[in-house]
Every structure is written in C-alpha cells, then in structure tokens.
Amino acid sequence: MKKELKILSPTGIVGYGFPEESFMAGVALKPDLIACDAGSTDPGPYYLGSGIPFTNATAVKRDMKLMLKAACELNIPLVVGTAGGSGADVHVAREVDIIRQIAKEEGLSFKMAVISSEFKKETLIEQLNAGKIEKLGPAPVVTEKDIMDSTHIVAQMGIEPIMEALDNGAQVVICGRCYDPAAFAAPAVRLGYDQALALHLGKILECAAICATPGSGSDCIMGYLGEDYFCIEPLNPERKCTPTSVSAHTLYEKTNPYILPGPGGQLDLSECVFTAVSDRRVKVTGSKFIPEAVPSVKLEGAKGAGFRTVSICANRDPIFISQVDAILEDLRKRTADNLSADFEYNLDFIVYGKNGVMGQLEPLNQISSHEIGIVIDVVADTQEHSAAACAIARSTLLHYGYPGRIATAGNLAFPFSPSDMKVGEIYVFSVYALLRTDDPTKLFRPVYEEVKP
C-alpha cells in the first residue's frame, strides 16, 4: 500500500502572495512536493500577445524565494506551471532569471528543467497542412494566416513532459504553458498514483485555498493523495474545507459539471463522493480518467488588433440616466459626423450601473442606480486615430443636449486628468484549437541546467 503523498500548494498563482505563517505550517508537515500554477488565459490575450508577464516581478520573487528555499531544505521537487502568466518563452525567461537570482542570493544549488511550450510558426503550418490542427468549441477554424499573424503561440502541456524532467533528475521544473492540474499531478502519477485522482486533486490545488471557506486564492492548502482517495485541508486555521466548498470548486471552470477535458483525455467526476473527515478536512473518491484515442493539446495564440484609448466618466442626472441608451446611440452618429474620419475605428460604451458587467445578457432592464459610470472605449489602427475618435466622443457627450436637460454645464464627471487614457496596442486570441499528437513528449522538450550560487 502506497504512503499518503503530501502536496503543498502555496497560492493560486506565483506572485499573488500567501501568508508566510500558513506556508511554514505546510513546510512543517514535510510535504513530498511543492507545486504552483503561475498563469492563465483569464486575464485575456494581451499578455500572451505582447509577451509581457501579468504578474509583478517583485511579487514573483518573494513567492518563489520561499518555495525554492523550502524545496531545497526538504530535498523535494518544486514544479511551476505556466511560468510568467502565459507560458511563452519570453515569460518563462523572466521566471528563470528570477530563480537564478534567488539561487545566487540564498546560496542554493539544484538541477532545473525548463520546458518550452512555444511553437515556431512553420512547425504549426506543417501540422495544419497535415490535418492535425482541429477546431475547438465555438472558436473559428485556424488558418495559415492566423498562425502567421500571431506574435506567440503556445500549447498546453500535460503531465508527460514534467514526468520526463523528473525522471532525468530535475528538482525544480519550470514549465511554459501548462494544463493547470499537471504541475501537481505529474509527480504523483510518476510515482504510480491514480491519474484520475491526481488530476482531480491538482484541479483543486491549483487554486490554492479558494476551495476553503472563507476562500482565498492567496493562501496555502495541503493535498493528501492515497491509493483510492485524496484529502484537502487548508493550512490557515481561519479556514476550513467542507464537502460543499470542495465539491463547489470541482464545478469551477467547466462547461459540463461532470466532465473536465485536458491534454490526452478527460476527467469523469460523475461518481465522485465528498466526505467530511473533520470540520476542516474533506475526503474525495470516485474520480475517473477517460483517455483519448489520439491525444491532443490545446493551442493558444494571440495577435495585434489595433490600439485603444479609453475615457472614464460618470453622470448622476436622472433625466440623462433615463435616456442613456438613446443618447449613446445618437452619440455614435454625432461622433462620426464631427470626426469625418478617413480611417476605421470601433466606438463602444460600457455603462456601469446599467449593464456594465453582463452587457446584453443582463436580465434587469430597468436602471435602479442614482448614478452611472461610462467607459468610452475606442479601438483604431493607430494610437493617434483611437485618441482622436475618443476625444470627439468624449467632448460631444460632455456637452450633449438631451430632451429635458436643465443645466448648460457639462454632463460628465471625470475622476482623472487627463480624461483620455492611451492604452496602447491590444491583442485578440487568434489561435484556439486542438493539436493532435501521437507522442506528447515530443512536443515539449526539457532543457536542463545545474543552478548554483
């Protein structure tokens, strides 16, 4: 019978922070693995497209230092997935540089594996022409132009490349774009633990203490993996896990409550049982893994889509608020007339206090707030063009005359000066598809380095 494997998850994303007291409580329990996710597509395509990490380097260094020192002191693996936020080579390079700095400053030595997940465009075009890139969900079919227009394209690796790195003696494994549970599951599967349970546990651990109550993505949690079960328990005494909190988090980020697709197959959670072991610990059984006939990995790519300028403003006149839809619709026409642009632009409005969060999906049609916030959003082919269109829309709305208007002063309150903010280049997802592969390890090759002070 296998011993219970202990996996410490410090935080939802490296750089989000965690209480040192919680972390040291986990270290005192002598975990067999420290693992952490470090990225996501949740912040949108900008970070992948631009190559800029969405986590702060100072915050990342603080988190990474605690994790590295603990892993070296305990002589256990440290695995980090989706380094730098989006997992492109440029993101990974920053995290690797931070790790080298920490090793030098703290006198640490270890073997590190760095696993790239970024593809050359020519390689993907070959795969496309061979019929190995398939449509994924509602995303459009990928074309050769989509690939060529993209600035970075990554694939979401599964457990196999991490297992290979550990097989070759790496203690620290830094991954490019990675399936969120893989950093937690790969070392366990390598040791012979059930793949379904390991992946399900990884799915919960990757968000750290969000599965607890009260939940937090910036606090530590411990996973305990046995032969036919796993347990979850937070390391902060102010939090607890319950069958409701853990099962609720199992539903997180899934289109189907029972099925979780990932590289190489899918988790079937329809027969899972969540049992309270104590008032703080929950035991989970019944997870199943269904492999794909031909394994696949998800491709993610982003490309430039113009330049944005925004203006944030507000209004609390009930007459204006009652007519806001008609006013903004007319504003589009007046902006076009007043600008007479020889370039294309997209003018949009986000109205907070009406439907700024859900847009057209908002079920409440009547505005009940005494004030509204308006974001004027313009995207054009250049920064100057988007700024020009935004300035015309903002100034026109500021002095717009609507039926019943009493004052002749401006209609808008601006929290910032300057009122118009040039956001810079923006990006959209250009590649979102499945890549079929006979051997996932061939797509992601680890590079090894002996890190010394």
pLDDT tier for residue 446 given thresholds of 50, 70 and 90: very high
In a domain, 291, yes or no: yes
In this predicted structure, what is the pLDDT of residue 365?
Answer: 84
In this predicted structure, what is the pLDDT of residue 268?
Answer: 95
Say whether both 18 and 79 belong to one domain: yes
Among candidates 311, 355, 348, 314, which has minimal Cα distance to 329? 348
Dist CA 45 CA 210 (whole Å): 24
In a domain, 190, yes or no: yes
In this predicted structure, what is the pLDDT of residue 441?
Answer: 84
Say whether both 225 and 313 belong to one domain: no
In a domain, 148, yes or no: no
**299 SS3 class:** strand
In this predicted structure, what is the pLDDT of residue 102?
Answer: 98
In this predicted structure, what is the pLDDT of residue 439?
Answer: 85
For residues 36 and 217, the answer to whether their CB atoms sit within 8 Å is no
Share of the chain above pLDDT 70, in %: 100
Say whether both 378 and 401 belong to one domain: yes
Say whether both 175 and 313 belong to one domain: no
Say whether both 161 and 289 belong to one domain: yes
Strand-strand pairing, 78-81 and 172-175: parallel
**385 SS3 class:** helix
Plot region of 85 (φ>0 → left; ψ -120 to 50 → alpha; else → beta): left
Instruction: For the chain, state the CA radius of gyration.
Output: 25
Strand-strand pairing, 265-268 and 172-175: unpaired
DSSP 246-296: HHHHHTTT-SBTTEEEETTEEEE-TT-EEEESSSS-EEEE--EEEE-SS-E
In a domain, 55, yes or no: yes
- 393-398 long-range contacts, CB within 8 A, separation 24+: 393/311, 393/331, 393/335, 393/347, 394/311, 394/313, 394/419, 394/420, 396/331, 396/334, 396/335, 396/338, 397/313, 397/327, 397/328, 397/331, 398/313
pLDDT tier for residue 407 given thresholds of 50, 70 and 90: confident
Query: 54 CB contacts (<8 Å, ≥6 apart)?
Result: 39, 43, 46, 47, 85, 86
Say whether both 277 and 352 belong to one domain: no
Dist CA 168 CA 162 (whole Å): 10
In this predicted structure, what is the pLDDT of residue 257?
Answer: 87
In a domain, 149, yes or no: no
Say whether both 281 and 308 belong to one domain: no
* Continuous H helices in 55-176: 57-74, 89-106, 121-129, 144-149, 160-167
DSSP 342-383: SS-EEEEEEEETTTTTTGGG-S--S---S-EEEEEEEEESSH
Dist CA 19 CA 22 (whole Å): 5
pLDDT at 33 over 70: yes
Say whether both 254 and 281 belong to one domain: yes
pLDDT at 440 over 90: no
In this predicted structure, what is the pLDDT of residue 251?
Answer: 86
Say whether both 208 and 246 belong to one domain: yes
As given in the structure block, the two tokens for residue 194 are 């059930």
CA angle, 201 as apex, 200 and 207 as ends, to 5°? Answer: 105
Burial zone of 237 (CB within 10 Å; 0-12 exposed, 13-18 middle, 19+ buried): exposed
Phi, psi of 388 (to 5 degrees): -65, -45
137-165 confidence digits (pLDDT tens): 899 999 999 999 999 999 999 999 999 99
CA angle, 98 as apex, 94 and 102 as ends, to 5°? Answer: 170
303-338 confidence digits (pLDDT tens): 999 999 999 999 999 999 999 999 999 999 999 999
**Token pair 């002749």 is at which residue?**
408
Phi, psi of 17 (to 5 degrees): 85, 165
CA angle, 85 as apex, 380 and 94 as ends, to 5°? Answer: 105
In a domain, 47, yes or no: yes
**63 SS3 class:** helix
284-308 confidence digits (pLDDT tens): 999 999 999 889 999 999 999 999 9
Mean pLDDT, range 231-245, rounded to an integer: 97
For the chain, the average pLDDT equals: 95
As given in the structure block, the two tokens for residue 349 are 């409005």
In a domain, 151, yes or no: no
In a domain, 131, yes or no: no
Mean pLDDT, range 267-280, rounded to an integer: 96
CATH number of the domain that residue 341 is part of: 3.30.70
The model carries a pTM of 0.93
- On the CB side of 304, how many CA atoms lie within 13 Å of its CA? 12
Dist CA 420 CA 414 (whole Å): 10
Residue 166: which domain range?
5-117+156-295+437-451
CA angle, 219 as apex, 286 and 16 as ends, to 5°? Answer: 115
In this predicted structure, what is the pLDDT of residue 199?
Answer: 97
341-376 confidence digits (pLDDT tens): 999 999 999 999 999 999 989 999 888 899 999 999
Name the residue with higher pLDDT: 253 or 191: 191
pLDDT at 1 over 80: no
**If you ran DSSP here, which 8-state letter would residue 438 be given?**
S
Say whether both 224 and 111 belong to one domain: yes
Say whether both 331 and 245 belong to one domain: no
The number of distinct structural domains making up the chain is 2
Query: 221 CB contacts (<8 Å, ≥6 apart)?
Result: 9, 205, 208, 209, 211, 212, 232, 233, 234, 235, 241
Strand-strand pairing, 78-81 and 33-37: parallel
pLDDT at 252 over 90: no
In this predicted structure, what is the pLDDT of residue 122?
Answer: 95
Say whether both 228 and 327 belong to one domain: no
76-101 confidence digits (pLDDT tens): 999 999 999 999 999 999 999 999 99
